[in-house]
Structure 1
Amino acid sequence: MTGGTVLPMKTLVLAGTAEARAVISVLASDPGFDVEASLAGATTTPAALPVPVHSGGFGGAAGLAAFCKDRQIGLILDVTHPFATVISGNAAAAAQEAAIPCLHYLRPAWQPQVGDRWRDFDSWQAMADAVPAGTSLFLAGGTQSVSVFSSRDDITLVARALNLGDVVPPEHATFIHALPSPTVESEVELLKQHDISLLCCKNSGGESSKAKIIAARECGIEVWMLARKPFGFAAPYEGDETEKTRPQQTSQKEMSMPAIHDSVEGIIDAARKCAAVSGAAAAMSSGAASIRETGA
């Protein structure tokens, strides 16, 4: 605070998702925030962001806490992928160490619809082991899942992920270095082109990779999904309905607790409440200091 003016809240957004880009887009133009983004570095050519970007890891929770203290970060927004549970846990621990609030966005999972045939698995290995010999399989589970399924030389594997451009596939496999297709039509075409009989993927939720799920339904193909693991910390959950009914005032105690939100609007609103509380506290502190200085 300078001359009675409340400075914008320095906010670190743990990014890498479409929702993170949406949050950053809104807060970057909000004078109440000074936003910095962090990307894990898994994507070689990430989409440009309108804020400074830290690329790469922090060295665990302790490293992230040190980063926040060094940069005087006042708020962490975890808007990472729902399967990035290690990062989310580190964010919560770092926030506690740095004594700052941490808000989490948890993208709602996909739910089965009429015509879906889904089966959940707890690990890629368990899923790969269960695939019947002779299956023509489309794997859309990210780079880390590819090596697990590639060891099955008794199946026909079509795998799509980023960072596969320099990886030579085994004879029984086809690797597609690409992001998920945004259209159902193109996903249906891919499934038919390779005569796919089984789709294996994560239950990532969201819209950006949902087309393959709809395509599998239309083609009558079974879907095996890697089930989500719970976050590695306890946090109050604040869904859309709760957000509509909870009080407008956010206490300092609430700010120090990690909270999970299931909508972009929800986490933006919560961030603004944190900024408002922080600004009010700073104003009160400044006012008290002024009174002491004047001897009033």
Structure 2
Amino acid sequence: MPADNHTFFVPVTYILTGILGTEESHVWISIPFCLMYIVTLFGNSLLLFIILTKQSLHEPMYLFVSMLAAADLLLSTTTVPKMLAVFWFRAGEISFAACLTQMFYIHVSFIAESAILLAMAFDRYVAICDPLRYTIILSKSLVGKIGLAVVTRSFCFIFPTIFLVKQLKFCRTNRLPHTYCEHMALARLACNDITVNFWYGIAMAILVIGLDAVLIAVSYGLILRAVFRLSSKDARLKALRTCSSHICVILMFYTPSFFSSFAHRFGHIIPGYILNLLANLYVVIPPMLNPIVYGLTTKEILKEVMNVFHWWCRRSSLLS
């Protein structure tokens, strides 16, 4: 984009406008978002509490679930409170530094979730294809190293976007047509060339998220091959049940993320308010559904959840 005859400036604050074209309905739109955020906080916090306090759940599968719950809490808490402030009070002002910080944590949690899902696919592969060596291969030491690798990889891939945005020159409006700060939404406000920003985002989507998705697909291809080689029908069903919750979470994560990522870059025929609404739904629906899926489909977690509710009910009856 040519930058001649423009007065450049560094914006002190941005104004998040919410979902353009739906301003009259912002209060009504906020109600389901608020309810979903409450469920997200409660569900993921309960999941973390149960897994971290119950020694019987200190196994690789459940530790990865706790990492996913932490990433979900980070993603939703980074975005939804400010989103609700925009919907309820039109409090869209956000400083440039706070906007960059929010952008950083949104994308970090997104890449971290993808890596955690890949680690969980590897966990299921070892559990089904090499069960006798499961505890040897997936030791607590290795799980800790995987967690550290997840955080390190996310940081290394997202940190350059901070510099890519900071070197942009702005000469237009500081009104950001969104409810949170997103890399390409910020870049589109610049008056100089954003080709590097554009292709860095595409490369990251393909080489990081895309590669994770391919490796997960390969893992489940090998898992299915091993499952259907089992002689017992009951053994096949049991093996498939152990993977069902993870497959649901994978589909909930990758389907909207790929659509949202590429639609924002190439979907010029799609109305902006639809893309904006989908982007908002993406940061609340998967984090809300993940603990529900694991809580209902994993009997060990469901058992502990029921124990917590029974304890809470007994305590409430004693206090009353």
Provide TM-score, normalisation by structure 1: 0.30
Tell me which of the two structures has the higher relative contact order, counting C-alpha pairs closer than 8 angstroms and 6 or more residues apart.
Answer: 2
Q: Decide which structure has greater helix share.
A: 2
Q: Decide which structure has greater strand share.
A: 1
